[in-house]
Amino acid sequence: MYGVQLDHLAAVLGVSESRARGIAAGWRSQRYAESARLGPGGPWTWLTRSGLTACGLPYAPAAPALGRLAHIRAVAAVRLALESASRYATAGGYWRSERRLRARMGGRVGLREHIPDGEVHWPDDAPAPWAGECWAIEVELTPKTARRTLAIMRELLTRTGDYGGPAAGTAAAGNQSPGPPRHARVLYLCAPAARPTVARAREALGAPGARIEIRQLPPGAAMAPPRGQAAAPPRGQAAAPPRGQAAAPPRGQAAAPPRGQAAAPPRGPAAAPARGQAAQ
């Protein structure tokens, strides 16, 4: 995770936004984190070199790239939504972020090589039918070309080696007898605009397309609209959070929403919206 917006931080910590703001200020004073308002919505918080060292993370410190804010937020929302699912916790799933994958590759990512937005590893002895699988996670906000999407799908489905491992991807490079694929399945989380392209690409894949799951982005994945714009829901997305759980309070929060927020979204921590996002 390159950075996290205040509402997501509050969801992760299981506290209100004002409390999360205070916690982030504490980290900032200890020089563990930086915080700034980079775009619409709440402020972003990201770890400094000291913070990364304290957490034992071997990443290069950097502020979230402005051009990727929406994507980073969507990936964070997907991760939070997945991690808050009870089956995920029961099965002991492990999220391996894109940043970790890139760190493993040590800057040797090929120009045409695609790194997924995350991986989910399931332990071999997990009490779930998908135990032992490794999933690739892709978040699509805007539609790519179907050809590019198809190429990415093929790459993800045929990859055999780990990222950053020696000779990883040998099988994908044309080995006649590839080994077992690294990713048992690929999970696409799509914004409504990107979904048709992803679905078309999956159809074009044929039988291997059965290993691709397509889902909507969870509520709270989209950036808050800029000031002065109405918080209209995206095309095709319902105004209210699905599954009728809108009234359920977030983990660790009282039922009353923080100031300026509408009723809390489903399983709040994963999808707690920022101010103005409740209508999505």
Partner 1 sequence: MSKRRGVSGIRLLAARAAIRATVRLLLAAAAAALIIAAAPVSVVAVSGSAFAWLTGWPPGRLYRAALCCVPMLAVWLAVTAIATRSASQVAAAPYLAWLAMWHRGAAGSYPAAAAVIAPPAIPAGLAAGGLAWSYRIRSMEAGSGGLSPDAAVSFDLRQWRHQARSARARISAPGAVPLTTRSEGIVAGAVIRAVRHPARPIATIPYARVRSHQVVVGTTGTGKTTLLLRLWAGFMATALLRHAAGRGKAPLLVVLDCKGGADARRIADRARRVLRLAGARSTAIWPDEASLSVWALPPEQLTTTLVDLIEHGTGAAAYYADVMEAVVELAVSAPCGPPASSADFLARLDTGWLSLAYSSGHEAELALVRSAARQVGDIGLRFRTLLRRLGGGLDGAGGFGDADAWYCILEGTAEISVAQAQARALVDLLASYAAGRAGPLEGREILLAVDEFSAVSRRLPVWQLYERARSLGLAVQVSAQSWQGLAADDDERYRIAAAADGGIWLLRTPSPEAVAALAGTRKVTDTTRRLIGVPVWSHRGTSRIRLAPVVDPDLIRALDVGQAAYIYRGGVTYVQVKRLVAGPAALPAPHRPPAPAPALAQVGATERTPGCAEPTDPAPRPPRPTRPYRAAATSPEPLPDVGALLDDAFGSEPGS
Binding site for partner 1 (CB under 8 A): 58, 78, 81-82, 84-88, 91, 94, 106-108, 121-124, 128-130, 132-134, 160-162, 165-168, 170-171, 173-175, 177-182, 184-185, 187, 189, 210-211, 213, 215-219, 241-243, 266, 270
Nearer to partner 1, 67 or 106 (CB): 106
CB neighbours (10 Å) of residue 30? 12
Least distance in Å: CB of 241 to partner 1? 8
Measured CA to CA, the distance from residue 8 to residue 79 in angstroms comes to: 10
CB neighbours (10 Å) of residue 28? 16
Nearer to partner 1, 59 or 262 (CB): 59
Least distance in Å: CB of 259 to partner 1? 27
Nearer to partner 1, 46 or 88 (CB): 88
Measured CA to CA, the distance from residue 33 to residue 133 in angstroms comes to: 34
Least distance in Å: CB of 38 to partner 1? 26
Q: Which one, of 215, 182, 191, lies nearest residue 85 by Cα?
A: 215
Nearer to partner 1, 24 or 77 (CB): 77
Least distance in Å: CB of 214 to partner 1? 8
Least distance in Å: CB of 218 to partner 1? 5
Least distance in Å: CB of 143 to partner 1? 19
Least distance in Å: CB of 25 to partner 1? 31
Nearer to partner 1, 31 or 215 (CB): 215
Nearer to partner 1, 23 or 246 (CB): 246
For the chain, give the longest Cα–Cα distance: 60
Nearer to partner 1, 38 or 240 (CB): 240
